[in-house]
Amino acid sequence: MPQAGAPRLFARLAHRLRGAPAPAMARPAPRTVRMASHDDLITLLRAATPLIVIESAEEARVLESFRHANAQVLRPLYRWSITEGLKRLDMDEDEDPGIAPDASYTLQAIRQSSQRGIYLLLDFNPYLRYPMVLRLMREIVQRHDSEAHTLVLIAPKVELPEELVPYATHYKPSLPDLKAIADMLRAEAFAYSRETGRRVEVDAEAARTIVRNLLGLSLADARQIARQLIWRDGALGASDLPELAKAKFELLNRDGLLHFEYDTAQFGDVAGLARLKTWIAQRRGAFLGAKTPVPLDPPKGVLLLGVQGCGKSLAAKAIAGGLGVPLARLDFGSLYNKFHGETERNLRAALGNAELLAPCVLWVDEIEKGLAQGSSDDGVSRRVLGYLLTWMAERRANVFLVATANQVQDLPAELLRKGRFDEIFFVDLPVEAARAEIFRLHLAKRSQKLDAFDLPALAAASAGFSGAEIEQAIVAALYAAAAAQRPLDQAHVRQELAATRPLSVLMAEQVESLREWARGRTVSAD
């Protein structure tokens, strides 16, 4: 492991990162919501925007950005909180306006002020419910008998009353860049050295990857993760990358809209699917930003259509393992909300979080259930579908979308159009060779001696079985053998296979109909 002292390494880190190729798990992902720049804030203040809304937990950073912006605008700048009342920020001397910290008194004083000012109101949400406060806010932003003041609401989450929505401009401060993240990591390494007397051991390549993966987070969140990584073992190395991915996901997914799949699979754990495996292997380098003889567009995603129990979910996990990136699962059921607009907001948040986790695989399981269109949902399904299609077409983040579906008749035609997915693969019932491999994998997983079984004979006896049904036959045979106090053998498995009626028999018409639809329309995964 190449190592360098933390002071020397971090001093060069940001500069080297700007020209370095992106390693696996390291490419920054653009946010769905555009971040505003420092110049944008200056423009808003010069235009005397009546009401600015900023949702951020980094209060100190937001206040500092207003200090810098106001140096170009030169207007009185005030901060208000319920604990300290109104305080002047743009003067060295602490000017006391002599106003009680009460919200109503403060707004009355602002309305009566004869000099246009900028007022940063911290955690003002609870007071917006009071009629007096709401009326005063409206009079100020509507400029009824008052100067063109600018009110700024700053809180981790701001819920505006409907009366103020038409006047509000939402401003999202830019997130820390590579240099800011590298400087923060250097400062945390120094802090560790001061407290412990030991220098942080740093793998240069891993440190570059860590900095890139901390992009997309606020400085406070990035600092929290950096401290965890450093204090875990006093080093920054390749072993920190899985922990970083988990910690970043937990911070981004505070709403619980995504599920982080900690246990991904490898293609060696999946029987069959030869074409799908080759397809993913050919595109891995382009997805991870590797240099190629000709420029290649990164792959966008695949739709896995097939019979239930044939390994679509396992294939999704194996795709993430094959690409070497984290796997996040989106459950449409967790998105839906009875309140108008909340479902779409949840979808935007979930997709935005996936982009911040990039490069990653986003797995949407049973996508047809989330997009089922009915007359009783007030058009929610159509709006969700519309936003999803727009995101699929316009996203620039390195998010590989894997959607799985069982019922093709429930899928909207817009989703199946060429170009939505790079490819539509059909996962059919496993052929005989694949069934033999499935038996081998599941028997080995349960510590059974493979030479005690005739795998080709078991494969022949399980014609029409899915992978899930084969696994359950082995599980049932193990119970039967344990009850008889005998080791598992060929006869136990054959007996369970003979007693099972697979889905291809129970639902023969539906399975055949799905196969018929897929023939000529999709690519066989095997």
pLDDT 10s digit of each residue in the chain, 526 long?
445 455 555 555 555 554 444 333 333 333 233 445 678 899 999 999 999 999 888 888 899 999 999 999 999 999 999 999 999 988 865 555 667 788 999 999 999 998 999 999 999 999 999 999 999 999 999 988 788 999 999 998 898 999 999 999 999 887 788 888 999 999 999 999 999 999 989 888 888 888 888 877 888 889 999 999 999 989 998 888 888 888 888 877 777 788 888 767 778 778 888 899 999 999 998 988 888 888 888 899 999 998 888 888 888 888 988 888 888 898 877 777 656 567 888 888 889 888 888 888 999 988 887 776 554 556 778 888 888 999 998 888 889 999 998 888 778 888 888 788 999 999 999 999 999 999 999 999 999 999 989 999 999 999 999 999 999 999 999 999 999 999 999 999 999 999 999 999 999 998 898 888 888 888 888 8
What pLDDT score was predicted for residue 92? Answer: 66
Q: Which residues pair with 363 in a beta bridge?
A: 329, 402
- In this structure, how many other beta carbons lie within 10 angstroms of the beta carbon of residue 469? 21
- Please, are residues 206 and 244 in contact by the beta-carbon 8 Å criterion? no
CB 1 within 8 A of CB 203: yes
- Local structure of 364: helix, strand or coil: strand
Q: Tell me 36's DSSP state.
A: B
pLDDT at 30: 31
Q: Residue 44 has what pLDDT?
A: 92
- What pLDDT shows up at residue 168? 92
pLDDT of residue 136: 94
| DSSP β-ladder status, 399-405 and 360-364 | parallel
Cα separation, 423 vs 400, in Å, equals 12
pLDDT recorded at residue 28: 35
Identify the structural domains of the chain with CATH numbers, from first to last.
Answer: 3-31+176-252 (no CATH), 42-170 (3.40.50), 267-427 (3.40.50.300), 432-506 (1.10.8)
pLDDT score of 335: 79
Q: Are 503 and 495 in contact (CB under 8 A)?
A: no
pLDDT attached to residue 36 = 56
Give the strand order in the sheet containing 258-260.
258-260, 327-330, 360-364, 399-405, 301-306, 423-427, 523-524
Token representation of residue 504: 């291809």
**What CA–CA distances, in Å, run from 517 to 104, 273, 371?**
66, 19, 20
E strand or H helix at 147? none
User: What's the distance, Cα to Cα, between the start and end of the chain in Å?
Assistant: 40
Contact 20, 208 (CB under 8 A): yes
